Amino acid sequence: KSFGGCATMLAQNRQIFSKDMHWRIESIDKESLVAKGMDIDLGLSQIWKIKLTERNCVDWQIETEAPIDLKSSLSQVNLMLNEKFSRWSTLENEGTFPLKLSSFREWQVLESAKSSFDKDGAICAYCDNGRDQEPLPSVLLESDTDNAFKIARAIITGIEQSSRVISLTPQALGAQNSFSGKIKIFDDKHEFYSYLTFRKLKLIEEHSIHKGETRLFFDQGHLRLFYKELELTKADCFSSSFYYRGRWFNSSEAICECKKQDAETLILNVCWSELKISQVWQVSLLSEFEIVWIIKLETQDGISIQSSRAAIFLSDQYREWFSTYEEGSFPKEFLCQDIVLENTKRKIVGL
């Protein structure tokens, strides 16, 4: 609906919308189309390559061009849809499009879809048969595996466009100049749910390792630890922090990407976008009862970290702690406090 597929660029601290560009068709045939849009004022352009591939699937590629002295980037890819679409889903979350639209022109990102951890490059819109008199086919927007547009958003427009929007943005704004993805349409609800289930199971497999009864799973920015299907971690789970410029920076505030190196090892790239500082975590399951966690800090020259620490947030069912030479109990009240261990020769600490 409205602008249909559209894309936004950033340049000179302002947004340039594809709908405002001057467009011409470069080539077209029965299955593909190439179009070029120009922003005359800044000399920016977008080249769209659209191709019908498998059944009910569209390949969508966007490349951008800009003058050498102009810093620009592709910041958002949107698919505007009919207001009859009632629900949205990512691989991590799902929710309902509200019946009431935003103000006349203002777009609103739905609160339940704002999580910066919806980073799997897929979002869909579909109809709830119980609410819609004329169900529409389900629509999925997904980025290709090697593309950086991984953050999914569900959006409602103002009354002017009266549309539901599914959207993808890159994890690091200002760094992307191209998009490669697909639009998939599902007439059959069973086929649609089967595809979603397949993608979710694939995501779990790509982000988890296990040995015996022990499993580590990267989920929505957190590295979670399970034993015999019971989760041992809680809140921030595995966490690291460092002291810099008068404050503590925590890994829960960072952009985190996870890749499975092999059947025993996960590699996490943890990046603080406002700083030129990042960490690489290497987490390996050597056995059912042994995990190796290595953190490497990467900084540019001249940056000095004053202090750092690593922690694992665990279930509140743990009531007692021990170290090499000491032991004790946790206080019943949940107050943020350190328990100071007196013996400095300790080598281990546990629960």
Q: What is the pLDDT of residues 134-164, one digit of tens each?
A: 678 999 999 987 778 888 999 998 888 889 9
Q: Which residues, 6 or more positions from 53, have their beta carbon under 8 angstroms from its beta carbon?
A: 59, 182
Report how far residue 109's alpha carbon sits from residue 120's, in angstroms, rounded to the nearest whole number.
18
Q: Is the pLDDT of residue 193 over 60?
A: yes
| CB distance 26 to 8 below 8 Å | no
Measured from the Cβ of residue 45, the count of other Cβ atoms closer than 10 Å reads 17
Left, alpha or beta for 223 (phi > 0: left; psi -120 to 50: alpha)? beta
* Residue 26 confidence (pLDDT): 96
Residue 51 Cα to chain centre, angstroms: 26
Q: Which residues, 6 or more positions from 133, have their beta carbon under 8 angstroms from its beta carbon?
A: none
Q: Which among 288, 248, 290, 298 has a CA at the least distance from the CA of 268?
A: 298
What kind and span of H or E run contains 235? strand 233-244
How confident is the prediction for the chain on average, in pLDDT? 86
Helix then strand then coil, % of the chain, to nearest 5: 10, 55, 40
Judging by DSSP bridges, how do beta strands 149-156 and 164-170 pair with one another?
antiparallel
Residue with tokens 């059947």: 263
Give backbone dihedrals phi and psi of 146, rounded to 5 degrees, phi first: -95, 10
Least confident of 47-56, 114-123, 173-182: 114-123
Model confidence pLDDT, tens digit, residues 251-304: 988 888 888 999 999 999 998 877 888 899 999 999 999 999 999 988 877 778
Measured from the Cβ of residue 223, the count of other Cβ atoms closer than 10 Å reads 23
The pTM of this model reads 0.71
Q: Residues 93-113: what's their mean pLDDT? A: 77
* Residue 116 confidence (pLDDT): 45
Measured from the Cβ of residue 349, the count of other Cβ atoms closer than 10 Å reads 12
Q: Is the pLDDT of residue 112 over 60?
A: no
Question: If you count DSSP H runs as helices and E runs as strands, how many of each does the chain have, helices first?
Answer: 1, 29
Percent of the chain, pLDDT > 70? 90
Q: Which residues, 6 or more positions from 19, have their beta carbon under 8 angstroms from its beta carbon?
A: 3, 6
| CB distance 132 to 114 below 8 Å | no
Q: Residues 92-98: what's their mean pLDDT? A: 87
